[in-house]
Amino acid sequence: MPYAADISRTNPTCFLFLVDQSSSMQEPFGATSDKKKAQGVSDAINRLLQNMALKCAKSEGIRDYFHVGVVGYGSRVAPAFGGALANRGLVPISEVANNPLRVEERTRKMDDGAGGVIDKKFKFPIWFEPIAQGKTPMCQALQFAHQMTSAFVGRFPNCYPPLVINVTDGVATDGNPEVPAVGLRKLATTDGGVLLFNAHLSAKPLRPVEFPDREDGLPDDYAKLLFRMSSPLPAKLQEAARADGFAVTPQSRGFVFNADLVAIVRFIDIGTKVAATVR
Amino acid sequence: MNSPLPVRWHAFALPKRGHTLDEYEDAHAGNPATGRFAVADGATESSFAGKWAKLLVEGYVRIEEGRTATNWLKPLRQRWAEDVASVPLAWYGEEKRDDGAFATFVGLALKQPDAERVGRWKALAIGDSCLFHVRKDRLLTAFPLTSADAFTQQPSLLDSRPRLKDAVVPVGCFERGKWQADDRFFLMTDALAQWFLRRHAQGLAPWQSLARRLAEPKADVALGTYCEELRDRKELRNDDVTLVAICL
């Protein structure tokens, strides 16, 4: 059965995030008109990286179940980590966790265990700042992703297939991204083809759509295009999505509209999961 | 309990392939004086889970027969919190410590036989650590799961930091029965339990495969070799393995 490989430190998988940094990302995001899309994206990427690090964190440190990369595309197509990780491609998650640009202290409401609510401080690392400059060379970004994941697949030919997560407002300026998307998804390990998931951020104040199973009903042609580019959710991810309360079907794809893909990190199996409600 | 139960028992532990023994996060304990035995499986995605699993099994087997045990978790949770509180950690370590540790658990309490020579047992389970009761080459009880298909990535878990007021063990996780001389009980964590149930569903007797290796002079070596063979054949999921086998 494909998409069933054990994820371990000797046989890790990789997550590669492709981040649209074009000037259109300065537009407002969805129904929250005070937030720009670029800010929405950097928040989403920081949360994804934080969740991945936490998933692999044990009392003795971080276990490198994942190698992670962030590629920005806008005025150029290049690795987008900053600080100590600048110019690095795929980096073991322990290095990512230990090298944020900075760690902010934030507050969240928590049940005090006795029927009340308390403010609890927590640390929130920042790796990625919002950028919005230039065009949208999505085809180039997908080709770059192909090169990076191809090298990873060469190194770990039996790994759980790499996951490429493209976060964009959907309008490529360098051609039809379906073509390089097909090529990318054809790249495979012995456990299956590369998974390409897309998160579409729109300025339209429309309700989020998560893991749809058909393109009819999606709000515009860009969303439909990104849906077609997205891989179907493998059976085990469908099962995990269902357990998390998503209404998925066997035809559901790794595509979300005006939503983030943080849940995907929870779906990946590295061992016994803790329910989503805990976090 | 006045005198120890007439039991022979053996515990076997094997870390997930690719992991060291330090990284093993299951736990087991047995105490013939109280008639109690337990295994627990610390959840991979939580920190300090092995410590929590160990506290759970050791706490459970200390409880003496007849003692009210509804609050047995409270001191264990306190102990866990004290033990981890002062460890210096990076941001991710602090977050995971705040979340608490999680584990599945199954515990068996055997009572001394009564005047009619009938012994009684009760068991407590949370999640997918399982108990199997075998008599005369027949599986009498599988608890709490009864099918290999019932295992998921997200079992019920006992947490070291309760989120709900008075959170206790979820309902429906208790079982009881009677034992007699020559019965066998097996407690095991999920990977081995799933293998056990799959073999049983195929009309096989997995307890015989285990008993044969338990009877060897170097039982741990025999069981370890067997588990590695099962892993090679993909019949046993690559996970920590823990087995407590009890012969009455």
Rounded to the nearest angstrom, the gap between the alpha carbon of residue A101 and the centroid of all alpha carbons in its chain is 19
Interchain contact, B239 vs A9, CB within 8 Å = no
Picking from B24, B46, B83, B157 by the largest number of A CB atoms within 10 A of its own CB, the best residue to mutate is B46
Amino acid letter at A245? Answer: G
For residue B230, give its domain range. Answer: 8-247
Which neighbouring-strand residues pair with B178?
B120
For residue B47, the chain A residue with the least C-alpha distance is: A58
What pLDDT shows up at residue B165? 47
Residue B151 distance to chain A (closest CA, Å): 11
Question: Is A4 part of a structural domain of the chain?
Answer: no
Residue B200 distance to chain A (closest CA, Å): 23
Among A137-146, A238-247, B58-67, name the one with the lowest average pLDDT.
B58-67
Place of tokens 């093993």: B24
Chain A residues close to B152, C-beta within 8 Å: 239, 243
Residue among A59, A240, A279 whose CB faces B153 most closely: A240
Question: CATH no. for residue A104?
Answer: 3.40.50.410
Question: For the segment A172-225, what is each residue's pLDDT rounded down to a tens digit?
Answer: 999 999 999 999 999 999 999 999 999 988 877 788 899 999 999 898 899 999
Looking at every residue in chain B, the average pLDDT score rounds to 89
Q: In chain A, pLDDT over 70 holds for what percent of residues?
A: 92
Inform me whether the pLDDT recorded for A274 exceeds 90: no
Nearest alpha-carbon partner for A161 in A232, A224, A211, A94: A232
Question: For the segment A232-260, what is each residue's pLDDT rounded down to a tens digit?
Answer: 999 989 988 998 889 999 999 999 988 87
Residue among A54, A239, A240 whose CB faces B92 most closely: A54
What pLDDT shows up at residue B172? 47
Which has the higher per-residue pLDDT, A199 or A171?
Answer: A199
Number of structural domains found in chain B: 1
| Per-residue pLDDT band at A276 (split at 50, 70, 90) | very low
Residue among A60, A97, A111 whose CB faces B163 most closely: A111
Q: In chain B, pLDDT over 70 holds for what percent of residues?
A: 92
What pLDDT shows up at residue B163? 62
Structural contact between residues B177 and B133, judged by C-beta atoms closer than 8 angstroms:
yes
Chains A, B: CB pairs < 8 Å: 96
Question: Is A265 part of a structural domain of the chain?
Answer: yes
| Distance in angstroms (rounded) separating the CA atoms of residues B224 and A86 | 45
Average pLDDT over residues B16-24: 87
Picking from A272, A274, A277, A278 by the largest number of B CB atoms within 10 A of its own CB, the best residue to mutate is A272
Q: Which residues contact A191 (CB under 8 A, 6 or more apart)?
A: A2, A3, A4, A5, A158, A159, A160, A161
Picking from B26, B55, B95 by the largest number of A CB atoms within 10 A of its own CB, the best residue to mutate is B95
Question: Is A150 part of a structural domain of the chain?
Answer: yes
Average pLDDT over residues B200-204: 96
Which has the higher per-residue pLDDT, B14 or A170?
Answer: B14
Interchain contact, A123 vs B102, CB within 8 Å = no
Question: Is B133 part of a structural domain of the chain?
Answer: yes
What pLDDT shows up at residue B65? 67
Chain A residues close to B159, C-beta within 8 Å: 278
Question: For the segment A24-48, what is each residue's pLDDT rounded down to a tens digit?
Answer: 788 777 666 677 888 888 888 898 8
Backbone angle region of A166, left / alpha / beta, with phi > 0 → left and psi within -120 to 50 → alpha: beta
Structural contact between residues B101 and B159, judged by C-beta atoms closer than 8 angstroms:
yes
Question: For the segment B209-218, what is each residue's pLDDT rounded down to a tens digit?
Answer: 999 999 999 9
Chain B residues close to A98, C-beta within 8 Å: 90
Question: For the segment B68-90, what is each residue's pLDDT rounded down to a tens digit?
Answer: 566 788 899 999 999 998 888 88
Question: Is B3 part of a structural domain of the chain?
Answer: no
| Distance in angstroms (rounded) separating the CA atoms of residues B228 and A168 | 46
| Per-residue pLDDT band at B207 (split at 50, 70, 90) | very high
Which secondary-structure segment (H or E) carries B39?
Answer: strand B36-42
Note the helical H segments in chain B: 49-62, 73-85, 91-99, 190-201, 206-214, 219-232
Question: Is B2 part of a structural domain of the chain?
Answer: no
* Token pair of B211 as six digits: 């008993």
Question: Is A28 part of a structural domain of the chain?
Answer: yes
Chain B residues close to A97, C-beta within 8 Å: 90, 92
| Distance in angstroms (rounded) separating the CA atoms of residues B40 and B28 | 6
Q: In chain A, pLDDT over 90 holds for what percent of residues?
A: 52
Backbone angle region of A245, left / alpha / beta, with phi > 0 → left and psi within -120 to 50 → alpha: left
For residue A116, the chain B residue with the least C-alpha distance is: B165
For residue A38, give its domain range. Answer: 13-271
Structural contact between residues A213 and A248, judged by C-beta atoms closer than 8 angstroms:
yes
Question: Is A6 part of a structural domain of the chain?
Answer: no
* Token pair of A218 as six digits: 């999606």
Inform me whether the pLDDT recorded for B157 exceeds 50: yes
What pLDDT shows up at residue A279? 36
CA angle A112, A114, A116 (to 5 degrees): 60
| Distance in angstroms (rounded) separating the CA atoms of residues A250 and A273 | 22
Residue B2 distance to chain A (closest CA, Å): 39
Interchain contact, A243 vs B162, CB within 8 Å = no
Q: Between B206-214 and B190-201, two packed helices, what is the crossing angle to 10 degrees?
A: 130
Phi, psi of A113, deg, nearest 5? 85, -5
Which has the higher per-residue pLDDT, A115 or B160?
Answer: B160
Backbone angle region of A158, left / alpha / beta, with phi > 0 → left and psi within -120 to 50 → alpha: alpha
Question: For the segment A51-106, what is each residue's pLDDT rounded down to a tens digit?
Answer: 889 989 887 789 999 999 999 999 899 999 989 999 999 999 999 999 999 998 88
Question: Residues in chain B, how many?
Answer: 248
Average pLDDT over residues B146-153: 90
Question: CATH no. for residue B240?
Answer: 3.60.40.10
Chain A residues close to B104, C-beta within 8 Å: 272
What pLDDT shows up at residue B88? 84
Amino acid letter at B147? Answer: S
What pLDDT shows up at residue A67? 96
Question: Is A217 part of a structural domain of the chain?
Answer: yes
For residue B237, the chain A residue with the least C-alpha distance is: A6
Average pLDDT over residues B138-161: 91
Inform me whether the pLDDT recorded for B232 exceeds 90: yes
Interchain contact, A240 vs B47, CB within 8 Å = no
Interchain contact, B90 vs A97, CB within 8 Å = yes
Q: CA A54, A55, A58, A61: dihedral to nearest 10 degrees?
A: -60
Number of structural domains found in chain A: 1
Please tell me whether the peptide bond between B144 and the residue prior to it is cis, using omega within 30 degrees of 0. yes
Picking from B25, B45, B164 by the largest number of A CB atoms within 10 A of its own CB, the best residue to mutate is B45
Average pLDDT over residues B228-242: 94
Q: Which residues contact B12 (CB under 8 A, 6 or more apart)?
A: B219, B220, B223, B224, B241, B242, B243, B244, B245
Question: Residues in chain A, how many?
Answer: 279
| Per-residue pLDDT band at A163 (split at 50, 70, 90) | very high
